[in-house]
């Protein structure tokens, strides 16, 4: 599957977006290391806070199906405006993906980034393990 195919899958998820508040549809497609693709859309709620982002939905579908290794992510919006994953989604991606993850953003020309470029110096599991000197659970405070 080439980059345009993955973007097309992300575009296909736009139809399912539930966006009564923003009217801004976002679609995502994430490819696993075995080539399986999971799509996601944004799903809004009346309290706003519980709203799910398209990238989160795609990652949740993939992880809940047993996949934790990813190679590429494609993101689009109904405006085809080159939307990039927000800060929260970047952190969610960093939980499972390395800095080399390719992120394709849909625009007149596809914009390509890496996760490392979009989220440099991310906090990670290593940060916490280093801080605990490998003794997580032994702290008294």
Size of the site for Zn ion (CB under 5 A): 4
Say how far apart CA 58 and CA 19 lie, in whole Å. 16
Cβ-Cβ contacts under 8 Å for 129 (sequence gap 6 or more): 136
Neighbours of 3 (CB within 10 A): 13
Under the rule (CB under 6 A), what is the footprint of ligand THU?
Answer: 19, 22, 24, 26, 42, 44, 51, 53-55, 85-86, 89
The partner in contact with residue 13, picked from Zn ion, ligand THU, none with C-beta cut-offs of 5 to 8 angstroms by kind, is: none
The partner in contact with residue 31, picked from ligand THU, Zn ion, none with C-beta cut-offs of 5 to 8 angstroms by kind, is: none
The partner in contact with residue 122, picked from ligand THU, Zn ion, none with C-beta cut-offs of 5 to 8 angstroms by kind, is: none
Residue among 66 and 93 whose Cβ is closer to ligand THU: 93
Residue among 88 and 128 whose Cβ is closer to Zn ion: 88
How far lies 15's CA from each of 23, 44, 47, 108, in Å? 12, 14, 22, 20
Q: Is 11 helix (H, G, I), strand (E, B) or coil?
A: helix
Enumerate the active-site residues. 55
């Amino acid at each position: 599957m080439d980059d345009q195919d993955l973007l097309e899958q992300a575009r296909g998820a736009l139809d399912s977006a539930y966006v009564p508040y923003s009217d801004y549809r976002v679609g995502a497609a994430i490819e696993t290391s075995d080539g399986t693709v999971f799509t996601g859309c944004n799903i809004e709620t009346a309290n706003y806070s519980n709203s799910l982002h398209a990238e989160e939905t795609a990652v949740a579908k993939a992880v809940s199906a047993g996949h934790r290794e990813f190679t590429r992510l494609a993101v689009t919006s109904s405006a085809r405006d080159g939307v990039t994953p927000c800060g929260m989604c970047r952190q969610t991606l960093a939980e499972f993906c390395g800095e080399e993850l390719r992120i394709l953003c849909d625009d007149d020309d596809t914009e390509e980034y890496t996760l490392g470029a979009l989220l440099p110096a991310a906090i990670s599991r290593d940060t916490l393990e280093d801080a605990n000197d490998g003794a997580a659970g032994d702290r008294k405070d």
